[in-house]
Amino acid sequence: MKRLRVLAIAYACNPDRGSEFGVGWGWVKAISENHDVTVITADFNANDIERYRRDRLDSEEPNLRFIYVKNRAWHYRPHGLWLAIENSAAKPVMNLAYQAWLDSALQIARCETEQDSYDLVHLITYVGWRFPGKFYQLGIPFVWGPIGGLMNMPRHLFPALGIKGAIYYAGRNLINTLQIHLLRGPRKALRQSHGAVIAATPDIRKALLRHFNAQSQIICEVGLPELTHGKTCPRLNDEPLRICWSGLHIPRKALPLLLHAVARLPPDLRYRLEILGDGPSSGAWRKLAKRLRVGQNCHWRGQLSRDLALEAMKGCHVFVITSLEELTSTVAVEAIALGLPIVCLDHCGFADLVTSSCGIKIPPVSVQKIVAGLADALVSLYSNEDLRSELAEGAAVRSRAYSWQSKMTALEEVYRTAIGTGERSFSAPPATNAIRSQHRRLSGFESQ
């Protein structure tokens, strides 16, 4: 395919942060390897992005340009009061505030396409299906994805969430179901994409087809980080099994499933549980560990920097994921890149990430069977070091399928779908002074 001019919309895009912000950064950086990319993003990412680029003298991203949307008081920002609103019954206010940011980004995008020629516009983050914006109105091919957020929390897993978590996800399921049937914006965006849609997981692809009759290409939202794998960490006969768990301490991450599982382990099975992360559920989970009499084997590491977290992971023998509602977490891809076998539930993005060559998947049929399955998997890995070592080597091999190079190969097919023959180009009329002036007002500042 010829080199394209891509206008990327990535509210969350930051080289120094994880989750959605790391997703946005990884995608635009990878796309710029093959195409010329202009990124419209939130201005609170500017300092980190510009520092990253100064440190590298722009040598790594010569085809990457940023435009920062000036943050307004009514725009959502994942900080302080807005985070409190997001995690409360007032979350619809946050949704409206994020939509306001998308509207401002659309005005800048219109100015850009009036002033210059682009081959397509690609909406990358946020990945939630509810917020497509109206970038399909720009008169150039529209690519959307990776898309997530369509799946409901299975009701039979509610007991693992606690009372507050169960109430929250019961409400979320109801609202999500209603929005799937009532929201018109996503339907319009999917129709205008003409098949250039990216689903983050196989389940999302099925949901897009079932609910919207929309075809999509599966490309996982997270990619292989820049890590040096090295040798896997062997477990000597006299060593305890070092188990790593990492994530926000919130109900859907469901650490209690693992705590109940290790409480069922045989008395002669020696283990140490490294728990990374922090959050509102930390206190309750610590109390649960003491109540189950496993607290002495738990090492609560708190919120670590990425480098320290990776060091902690490298020293472990197995990585356990208990998340009940997720796409594919960055830390899961980091774990297999480090050669850690994974024990997880056979659902969400993990169902696709983890194969029999790199881990053990537990069918999420009930809370009781999940706990029993986790315990059995840990016993197997403790008692059979050959199996654990084999899975560790398999994890390192499996991580290559999540390289950014493989993702971009799949993305090229999506771009071909978007632009038809691949030879299509779009000319723009000269920009008026009024348009240029509006563009300067809307964007905080621009990085060439």
Average pLDDT of each block of 10 consecutive residues along the chain (448 residues)?
A: 92 85 91 95 92 72 87 78 68 82 95 93 92 93 94 92 90 92 93 92 93 93 70 82 94 96 96 94 96 96 87 94 87 91 92 93 96 97 96 92 89 92 38 43 48
Q: Within this chain, do residues 309 and 372 fall inside the same structural domain, yes or no?
A: yes
Give 267's contacts (C-beta < 8 A, 6+ positions apart). Answer: none
In a domain, 230, yes or no: no
Concatenated DSSP letters of 188-208: HHHHHHTT-EEESSHHHHHHH
Q: Which two tokens stand for residue 278?
A: 């922090």
In a domain, 77, yes or no: yes
| Torsion sign (Cα): 365, 366, 369, 370 | positive
Strands, E assignment, 11-140? 36-42, 64-69, 120-125
In a domain, 395, yes or no: yes
Question: What pLDDT shows up at residue 40?
Answer: 97
For the chain, the straight-line distance linking the first and the last C-alpha, in angstroms and rounded, comes to: 25
- The answer to whether 404 and 219 have CB atoms below 8 angstroms apart is no
In a domain, 34, yes or no: yes
Q: Within this chain, do residues 410 and 304 fall inside the same structural domain, yes or no?
A: no
- The answer to whether 252 and 164 have CB atoms below 8 angstroms apart is no
Q: Within this chain, do residues 115 and 247 fall inside the same structural domain, yes or no?
A: no
Q: Within this chain, do residues 412 and 391 fall inside the same structural domain, yes or no?
A: no
Q: Within this chain, do residues 76 and 219 fall inside the same structural domain, yes or no?
A: yes
pTM, entire model: 0.82
Among 350, 10, 358, 413, CA closest to 151: 350
Q: Within this chain, do residues 280 and 313 fall inside the same structural domain, yes or no?
A: yes
CA distance 347 to 356: 14
In a domain, 100, yes or no: yes
In a domain, 363, yes or no: yes
Q: Within this chain, do residues 27 and 70 fall inside the same structural domain, yes or no?
A: yes
Relative to beta strand 342-345, strand 271-276 is: unpaired
Q: Which two tokens stand for residue 416?
A: 């071909």
Domain with residue 197: its CATH number is 3.40.50.2000
In a domain, 314, yes or no: yes
Q: Within this chain, do residues 95 and 212 fall inside the same structural domain, yes or no?
A: yes
- In the chain, the amino acid numbered 181 is H
Q: Within this chain, do residues 343 and 327 fall inside the same structural domain, yes or no?
A: yes
CA distance 144 to 125: 9
In a domain, 444, yes or no: no
Q: Within this chain, do residues 412 and 378 fall inside the same structural domain, yes or no?
A: no
CA distance 138 to 121: 8
Residue 117 structural domain:
5-148+183-223+403-423
Q: Which two tokens stand for residue 229?
A: 């794998």
Counting the structural domains of the chain, the total is 2
- The answer to whether 266 and 235 have CB atoms below 8 angstroms apart is no
- The answer to whether 348 and 201 have CB atoms below 8 angstroms apart is yes
Q: Within this chain, do residues 298 and 199 fall inside the same structural domain, yes or no?
A: no
DSSP letter at 89 equals: T
Q: Within this chain, do residues 70 and 208 fall inside the same structural domain, yes or no?
A: yes
Sheet containing 64-69: give its strands across: 217-218, 197-199, 142-147, 120-125, 5-10, 36-42, 64-69, 443-447
Question: What pLDDT shows up at residue 227?
Answer: 61
Angle, vertex CA 182, rays to CA 419 and CA 217, nearest 5: 30
